[in-house]
Structures are given as C-alpha cells and as structure tokens.
Amino acid sequence: MVKAEKAIRPDGPLLFFGGPYSNLEATRALLDRAAALGIAPWRTVCTGDVVAYGADPAATVELLRNCGCHVVMGNCEESLAAGRADCGCGFPEGSQCERMSAAWFAHAAAELDAGARAWMAGLPRRIDIEIGGSRFAAIHAGADRINRFVFASTATAVKAGELDKTGTDAIIAGHCGLPFTQKLGQRLWHNAGAIGLPANDGTPRTWYSVLNIEHGNIVIEHCALEYDYRTAAAKIRRAGLPEQYAVALETGLWPGCDVLPLKEIQHRGLALAQGRVSWRPHRAEKGRSKRHGSEVLWPAVDSNRTPGLDARKFKDPFFTANGEPRASVALKRLKTLWFNTGTLCNIACRNCYIESSPKNDRLVYLKQSEVAAYLDEIERDGWDTNEIGFTGGEPFLNPEFIAILEDCLARGFRVLVLTNAMRPMQRSKAKLLDLNARLGDKLTIRVSLDHFTPERHEDERGPGTFRPTLEGLIWLARSGFKVAVAGRTMWHDEENAERAGYRRLFDEHNIPVDANDRTALVLFPEMDARVDVPEISDGCWQSLGKSPDAVMCASSRMVIKRKGSGRPAVLACTLVPYDEQFELGHSLKDAAKPVRLNHPNCAKFCVLGGASCSAS
C-alpha cells in the first residue's frame, strides 16, 4: 500500500482535475477557472498524467510546477522520470492505444529536460485530504498499482478493496479519463475526469470537479471546461503526433476503446451534463462492515443508445413483422446432441445468455440415467450422431458429471465440454486425468476465457476470475488434454487484433491452441435479446448468401430438464433454454421437426453472426 507523502487540511473548497495530457490550452483554462472561482492553488489537486497525448509536454509541466497546486504522480510521470521505454499506461499489448502512445511518449521524452524529470520523480504517489471530518486519499489509479483502470462500471468489490488498502473514507482518482462519483456503502469513489482529452461523450469539453462542505455534507460539482481545443488540435498536427489525437479533441470521441469496459463503450458519444452530488459519510460501528451496496451518484447515464427490439418482431412463428414467411430450418442430421447439465454455476457473469449463477436452478441437474436414455436412443434408432456436447451452468458442479462423461466416451462419441475451468473442474483433476489416459482421444475441453486481458475477462465474469480460469487452462494443456478456448466479441475488438492477443497469451504459457483456427479459438458474437436485430424470412437465405443447412438447428439439439419437471425435454438448440416454443418433445424422434427462427438469438448468433457452439 502506498502511504500518504503529504496531507492537506483545506479551509475552503477544493478543485480537482486529472490528465492535463500535455494540453497547454486546457491547463491554462483550468487554472484560470480556479482563479475565477477564488480557489487558491494550494487548494487545487491534479491526479496525475500531466504529460501524455498533447503537443506541449514541457510547457505544461512548467506551468504546473510554477502554479503552486498539488500534483499526484501518474504512471506517465513515473515512466518519464525513470527513463523507461514506454508510458506504462496499462494498454493491452498490440492495441491501437499502445501503438499510438509510442508516438507521444517519444515526443515527450525528447522535449523534457532534466529539471522536469526531477520534478516528476519527486511527486507524491498519494495525498491525504482531511475535510468535513472525513479523510480522502488522492491517488492516480489504484492504491498500490499506479496504472489500474477503475471506471464507474468496475466491480464494487474492486473499489472496496482499494478503499480498504488506503484506510480512508474516500478515494479521489484519475487515470481512466472518465469522470464519475460512486457511493460504496458508507464510502466514496470520485474521479474528476481529465482536462486534456474529452470524456468520449461526443463534445470537446473536458471535466474537473469542485468539492465543498455544505451543512455537514460533502458536495461535489462535476464541471465542464471549455477551452481553445482548436489550437490544441492544430499543435498536435504541427508536432507530427497521431492525427487521431487531434480528431479526438475536435469530436469529443476517443480514437480507441481498447481499455473500456462494455458499459462505457455503450455510453460512447452520449453527452454528459454537469451535475452536483451530496454525500454524508457515516462512521461504521466497530466490527461492522462498510460494504452495503453501491450507487453511481453521477453521471446519470444508465442506458445505451442501441435501439431496443421492435415490439412487433418475433411474435408470430409463421410470419415476420413485415408479413413475410418466417425462415425455418429442417433437421438434416443430428450431428451434435447437447446436454445442459444444469444452470447452477460457481460464478454469475454479467451477460450470461442463460443467466447461470450460484442461485439459478431453473434447469436442474441431469442424471446419468437420463443422459444414458438418449444415448441408447441414438444407438437404437440409428441417429448418425458423432458428437456429444455439455454446457451449463458449470457442468462440473453436477455430481454425476464425471460418470456421464465416461459413459459418453466409452460409447465412442466425440465429447465437447464447455467449462470455466475454475474450482469445480479442478476438484475433479484426478478423475479427469484417469479419463484422459483411457479415453482422451475423443475428449475436447473448451475453456471460456472471454478475453486475453484480465480486465475484460473480469468485466464479464467478475473480479478474481481470470487467474483461476487461466490456471485451469494451463493445467489442462500441460496434462495432455485436447483444449479449445471460447472468447467474446462484445468489446468490438478488431478480430485480427483479438486473435493476436490470444496468441501472445497462449505462447507465453505454452498452451497448444492455434489462435487462427476458428474451431480452436471460437469468438462468439454478443447476444442480447433486448437489442434490435433483423428477422430472418425465407427470402433472406439467398440475399445473405447463406444456407439453412449451416445453421445449428440443422444439425443439433439440446436436452434440458426444467425445475419441477418429471423428465427431460429436447430443445431446438442451446441458445433458447427458457423459450417454450422451442421445446420440441421428450425424445429425439419428437424433436426432429423443423425449427422456425422466431427468436432474436436465431438471427444475431446463428444466421447473421455465423456462429456455432459445436467443435467443428
């Protein structure tokens, strides 16, 4: 934990700002605004990254050195002071942000003299502020990690952990570049935003905040800063820095979203409105937890601009909303039979299409005898099925799963298991090793690793989930299992860049997965049944250049067992577990009927997304 190197006890309002980013025009405008508000320099605090994307690193440093305000060391100052090769911003390796940052870093390194670097090296990593009977820690990013990205949507547990490390009532941080104020139980997280770059909200304004005490409450005003962004953009161009930075100043949109969580990506271009929030800290009684929920106090942005699903769509199984005959898919061959082993899972993902969690038992555990009955039907009735798939929930939570798995493998089926590779799977290591030694030539274990970075994987799956999943994948690979990986495209990464990121991760850990093989590394399109998507009519096949035979329900079915039901049922596919119109009967023979594509997932995932859950 970084301890406070200095503390201030102000006698009036405080002004906070972050990320001057070598933007001299914005920095001058901010200091002029502070003076106009009557806020003295010693009551003005910068949360770091004085130097970054803009054209004037030396002049911006000189201005802040001489103005008398407090400055917390940012990762950019740390890197430049130490003479490192890059800014240490924490951008994913190979990302657009990382590539562009190399240009400004080289520019800044050439411009800054020894005096500027010495000033940077002497900046405190933490400033404590005592105001209104509360103690705030002003830091750059994390309490002990100078480049940790913490956004409004970052998990409450992450922020609570950082607050625990500081031992304070509140944290005032920077680094992420987006302003917000969030209450976490009795504590607070505040980010004033950056003044050197817009807040990705489609306006050229930047952001700072003013903190004061009113009637015993801490009052924070989120304020927009108008400045001469045109001159700042022109200077970027004259300096030969990336054009994208100049465009960002003019349009208010960042050149890349490589570090943003999904929610912040959805809010891109949504203009922020100035706001004022009030917070009264309450001292927790000794021994009682301070963690009682969370609430984002500002900004009041809790929706995205993606059009919602047209209420007229996917209503009639035979016709689209436009009156066209709805597309249907005939079962050509039951190549893959899926079993949902139950919706209980050891974790609760943010966007799980089946809503699996430690509490969701809407689909209950399948028994070995129930699975065996379908395997018997395949053999008895001559279904040409060669692959059995298992999904959940987390299959390894099912107490009969290893026995089920062995039965399928012993009968000669190829078996695909979808798992998060965490503790439930790892508790079965000895049994899995035995199975793999005897029957492993038919077994593939596909691990759900949603992204090659911990931040984005955990944006979906929750704090602390990346490392156990990666460790499970590494164990499988080193133990000789045939492995595959499933990722997500929800953050809109460019596919080649995403595959390159996975390739680096696989190479680092000697994981034998070919990132260019689309069956070994499957990148699933995002599904959200609330978002508008075109319906698929009979006439779409030709116009899309697709065949109904390529859609999953032409070659697969899924067996589930609903809570309270006496026996399993067969559904059209893995993506519609709760929609009863896709329940086709209790036997494979019953389920051989055609499937009408009357669900958003049919269009989004299968037809337009071209995705399949199968191993081939």
**Which residues of the chain does CATH 3.20.20.70 include?**
329-607
pLDDT of res. 574? 80
How far, in Å, CA of 73 to CA of 575, rounded?
Answer: 48
Mean pLDDT in residue range 481-502: 92
Structure tokens at 50: 């004085």
Mean pLDDT in residue range 135-147: 96
How far, in Å, CA of 558 to CA of 433, rounded?
Answer: 27
Q: What are phi and psi of 13, to 5 degrees?
A: -60, 150
pLDDT of res. 290? 52
Report the percent of the chain where pLDDT is more than 70: 95
Q: Report whether 31 contacts 23 (CB < 8 A).
A: no
Mean pLDDT in residue range 120-135: 94
Q: Report whether 168 contacts 136 (CB < 8 A).
A: yes
Q: pLDDT tens digits for 464-480?
A: 999 999 999 999 999 99
How far, in Å, CA of 162 to CA of 144, rounded?
Answer: 8
CA 341 from chain center: how many Å? Answer: 27
**What three-state secondary structure class fits 607?**
helix
User: Which position has the token pair 């692959």?
Assistant: 387
pLDDT of res. 37? 97
User: Which position has the token pair 């190979």?
Assistant: 94
Q: Closest Cα to residue 446, out of 477, 468, 424, 467?
A: 477
pLDDT of residue 161 exceeding 70, the answer is: yes
pLDDT of res. 285? 40
pLDDT of res. 440? 95
Angle at Cα 604 formed by Cα 601 and Cα 606, nearest 5°? 80
Structure tokens at 141: 């990013």
How far, in Å, CA of 78 to CA of 85, rounded?
Answer: 11
Mean pLDDT in residue range 50-71: 97
pLDDT of res. 8? 85
Confirm or reject CATH 3.40.50.150 for domain 10-298, answering yes or no. no
pLDDT of residue 282 exceeding 80, the answer is: no
pLDDT of residue 260 exceeding 70, the answer is: yes
To the nearest whole number, what is the mean pLDDT of the chain? Answer: 92
Mean pLDDT in residue range 339-345: 97
Host H or E run for residue 501:
helix 495-508
**Which residues of the chain does CATH 3.60.21.10 include?**
10-298
Structure tokens at 30: 């901010």
pLDDT of res. 96? 82
Q: Report whether 244 contacts 100 (CB < 8 A).
A: yes
Q: pLDDT tens digits for 360-376?
A: 999 999 999 999 999 99
**What three-state secondary structure class fits 513?**
coil
Highest-scoring range by mean pLDDT, 101-105, 282-286, 445-449: 445-449
How far, in Å, CA of 273 to CA of 200, rounded?
Answer: 13
Give the torsion through C-alpha atoms of 62, 66, 70, 73, to 10 deg: 30
pLDDT of res. 612? 65
pLDDT of residue 577 exceeding 80, the answer is: yes
pLDDT tier at 292, thresholds 50, 70, 90 = low
**Cα distances (Å, whole numbers) of residue 315 to 233, 584, 588, 598:** 51, 18, 26, 7
Alpha-helical segments (H) within 122-228: 156-166
Count of CB atoms within 10 A of residue 193's CB?
28
Q: pLDDT tens digits for 423-443?
A: 999 999 999 999 999 999 999
pLDDT of residue 287 exceeding 50, the answer is: no
- In sequence order, the 6+-apart residues with CB closer than 8 A to the CB of 274 are 221, 222, 223, 224
Q: Report whether 332 contacts 554 (CB < 8 A).
A: yes
pLDDT of res. 289? 42
How far, in Å, CA of 439 to CA of 443, rounded?
Answer: 7
Structure tokens at 329: 């898919």
Structure tokens at 451: 């992204």
Q: Quickly name the fold that domain 329-607 has.
A: TIM Barrel (3.20.20)
Cis omega before residue 534 (within 30°)?
A: no
**Cα distances (Å, whole numbers) of residue 445 to 396, 450, 498:** 12, 15, 21
How far, in Å, CA of 289 to CA of 488, rounded?
Answer: 36
Burial class (CB in 10 A: 0-12, 13-18, 19+), 275: middle
Q: Closest Cα to residue 414, out of 390, 433, 432, 437?
A: 390
Q: Bigger pLDDT: 407 or 257?
A: 407
Q: pLDDT tens digits for 223-254?
A: 999 999 999 999 999 999 999 999 999 999 99
Q: Closest Cα to residue 394, out of 357, 431, 428?
A: 357
pLDDT of residue 286 exceeding 70, the answer is: no
Count of CB atoms within 10 A of residue 235's CB?
19
Q: Report whether 486 contacts 444 (CB < 8 A).
A: no
Predicted TM-score of the model (pTM): 0.86
